[in-house]
């Protein structure tokens, strides 16, 4: 079952006194289209914040405005904040990848009178959140046998392809950001070699993101139409990724193996499995692989098919790969949960 955070009932005055103490945390997940915010006290569980809200970014003039409106709803001024942001963090500052916003930790700290503000990559937040999820908010594709001290890999095909990992150090999980989604696409069979050649003619260098993400799915569909010499029926659809996914799911119900949308999502699943295995090999993710992002929960019927693990556990280290647990993240608030977890576990926050 997919869990959705809900705000709790209005607090009594005694609770309000406690949450305005210097132990109230503002956590956030800031994406290209939406911002999720939550307030936490130390006694709150990560999955049950004191107050939370999701806002469409195009309804506000700035990130500051979203924060101000959110805090005014409960008349609360937290002591610290941690935000997972879609973009590369440099010196606690980030220019967002798919939105014309620049977030600066020190400026936010001064603007809202906070003791500290931490900006972390959104995949770092997802990685931190993934390891705190209960079993009913994950779909396990491969049970495997998790190494308790092994690294954990997180791969997230949404609009783009995000990757990160966690390592164990002194009883703590330390999240490490990555731009692995922009590494080169490595085909694993003859069809994928033809896909690489097709993409290279148009784009030159071909990254994993270009064939394993929301922006990549239309590329797969175009390739299959071109290879079969048929007209592309979804070429002018305003939301091609959604249309292809919906057509692929409908093709499963009608048992139409020749449907091009179905073949596109099968190809996507095989590429995702191989890229997940690549991540597992690069960081020795014997602790598990978590697959996040917006695309996988929509195509669970494809990912749960035997072919996914066949594509994952192959090559010289197939036995090791077959022993790695593989989970799909079902919880939509994982990055928000992870931002809070990062803050509560961060010595950096405690020292400020």
For residue 346, pLDDT beyond 90? no
Q: What was the pLDDT predicted at 12?
A: 37
Q: Is the pLDDT of residue 10 over 60?
A: no
Domains of the chain: residue spans and CATH: 13-128+333-351 (3.30.420.40), 135-330 (3.40.367.20)
Please state the rounded mean pLDDT for residues 123-150: 96
Using one digit for the tens of pLDDT, what is the confidence trace for 328-341?
Answer: 999 999 999 999 99
Predicted TM-score (pTM) of this structure: 0.88
> Which tokens sit at 186?
């490595």
Whole-number Å distance between alpha carbons of 70 and 7: 12
**Sheet of 25-30, strands arranged across:** 51-56, 34-40, 25-30, 80-85, 116-121
Contact between 245 and 265 under an 8 Å Cβ cutoff? The reply is yes
Q: How far apart are CA 345 and CA 80, in angstroms?
A: 13
């Amino acid at each position: 079952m997919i869990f959705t955070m809900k705000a709790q009932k209005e607090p009594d005055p005694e609770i309000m006194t406690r949450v305005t103490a210097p132990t109230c945390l503002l956590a956030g997940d800031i994406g290209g289209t939406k911002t999720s915010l939550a307030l936490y006290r130390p006694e709150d569980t990560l999955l049950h914040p004191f107050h939370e809200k999701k806002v469409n970014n195009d309804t506000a003039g700035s990130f500051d405005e979203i924060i101000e409106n959110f805090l005014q709803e409960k008349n609360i001024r937290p002591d610290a904040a941690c935000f997972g942001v879609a973009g590369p963090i440099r010196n606690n500052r980030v220019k967002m990848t798919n939105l014309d916003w620049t977030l600066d930790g020190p400026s936010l700290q001064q603007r809202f009178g906070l003791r500290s503000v931490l900006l972390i990559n959104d995949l770092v937040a997802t990685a931190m959140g993934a390891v705190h999820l209960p079993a009913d908010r994950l779909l396990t594709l491969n049970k495997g046998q998790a190494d308790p001290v092994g690294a954990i890999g997180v791969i997230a095909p949404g609009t783009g392809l995000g990757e990160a990992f966690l390592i164990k150090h002194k009883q703590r999980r330390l999240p490490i950001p990555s731009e692995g989604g922009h590494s080169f696409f490595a085909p694993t069979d003859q069809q994928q070699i033809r896909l690489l050649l097709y993409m290279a003619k148009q784009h030159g260098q071909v990254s994993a993101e270009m064939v394993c993400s929301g922006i990549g799915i239309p590329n797969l569909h175009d390739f299959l139409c071109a290879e079969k010499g048929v007209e592309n029926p979804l070429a002018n659809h305003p939301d091609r990724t959604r249309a292809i996914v919906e057509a692929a799911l409908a093709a499963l119900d009608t048992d139409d193996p020749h449907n091009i949308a179905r073949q596109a999502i099968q190809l996507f699943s095989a590429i995702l499995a191989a890229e997940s295995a690549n991540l597992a090999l690069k960081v020795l993710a014997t602790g598990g692989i978590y697959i996040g992002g917006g695309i996988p929960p929509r195509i669970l019927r494809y990912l749960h098919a035997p072919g996914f693990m066949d594509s994952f556990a192959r090559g010289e280290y197939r036995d090791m790969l077959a022993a790695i647990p593989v989970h799909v993240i079902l919880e939509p608030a994982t990055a928000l949960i992870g931002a809070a977890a990062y803050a509560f576990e961060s010595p950096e926050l405690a020292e400020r």
